[in-house]
Amino acid sequence: MPNYKRKRDSNEREIIDALQTAGCMVIQESNIDLWVLPPNLPYWIPIEVKTKTGRLTPYQQRLHAMARDAYNYEIPIATTVDEALQIVGVLK
């Protein structure tokens, strides 16, 4: 990862708290903001957290493109608690 100053989005703590309350295990990371293990799934889900006006850094854009191009996988982006809970399947 490039030497960007690691800044956490202002909504990240609220999203983590809600995921943990829903029974998820959550790990904060530097390349992908959150790795989430839902209570009902046997695998981790990466989640990029952004504010409503937040944008991916150039490094994150390349990482997302690599996941999409090499693995046909879209890394989900959550801007709200409800979006994060929907991503992991806790909120329908």
Residue 63 lies in a domain: yes
Residue 53 lies in a domain: yes
Residue 2 lies in a domain: no
Residue 4 lies in a domain: no
Residue 6: the pLDDT is 62
Residue 32 lies in a domain: yes
Residue 3: the pLDDT is 47
Chunked into runs of 10 residues, the chain (92 residues) has average pLDDT values of 63 96 94 94 96 92 96 96 95 66
Partnered with residue 14 across adjacent β-strands are none
Residue 92: the pLDDT is 59
Cα–Cα distance list, 52 to 12, 55, 71, 74 (Å) = 12, 9, 27, 19
**pTM of the predicted model as reported, rounded to 2 decimal places:** 0.86
